[in-house]
A and B are shown apart, each in its own frame.
Chain A
Amino acid sequence: EPEVTQTPSHQVTQMGQEVILRCVPISNHLYFYWYRQILGQKVEFLVSFYNNEISEKSEIFDDQFSVERPDGSNFTLKIRSTKLEDSAMYFCASSPGGLGETQYFGPGTRLLVL
């Protein structure tokens, strides 16, 4: 069964450093998403991406965040200058698209900012 994959599974970085989180969505899906879950809190939507551009973004997704689909398979989330409060699990998801389509999540990347 096709699944969303994410790399790395864990990332430790120093405050102020740039990080890139990578995702490979399910191959025939059209919509891609990033979510995060800070420890002990709920899963929060960051951004959705369709047709090579951002479709929706939340208040969390400020100028330090960017997303890209550099090739036909990868979908990346870049955090330009990490802060301590960026420490969280970051989940990538994809969906086939259209109304009421289920989003399928990857296993997540645990980011720790020191």
Chain B
Amino acid sequence: DQQVKQNSPSLSVQEGRISILNCDYTNSMFDYFLWYKKYPAEGPTFLISISSIKDKNEDGRFTVFLNKSAKHLSLHIVPSQPGDSAVYFCAASDGGGADGLTFGKGTHLIIQP
């Protein structure tokens, strides 16, 4: 039961170019979406989030787009930097503070010099 899907296990992008990571979800009750970045042997680090009432949220080099009708969100990183190489997890929540997040399997982003 994969309610949150990240279909690309890995993505390789040249430094300076745009990285686009995709995420699909099936549960229409999800109303809050988050992207986390994770390095090996560390915990997930929060990057950016978006509420279902918005279709775009921007924070510096990171922009998240939400297409509710397609149940799809994407994370854009521009320009990509070597330090962006990590595993990126999409996560979703369907309620308030008590609800656990449902995570995707992650996409390993590799930024090539």
Contact = CB atoms under 8 A, between A and B. Distances in A.
A87 interface: no
- Interface size class on chain B is 20 to 34
B62 interface: no
A102 B34 contact: yes
Interface residues of A, number: 34
B36 A55 contact: no
B85 interface: no
A105 B49 CA distance: 15
Contacts of B32: 99-100
A96 B103 CA distance: 20
A98 B97 contact: yes
A52 interface: no
B98 A56 contact: yes
Given A42-B106, A91-B43, A102 B98 contact: no
B97 A107 contact: no
Interface of A: 4, 6, 30-31, 33, 35, 41-48, 50, 55-56, 58, 91, 95-108, 110
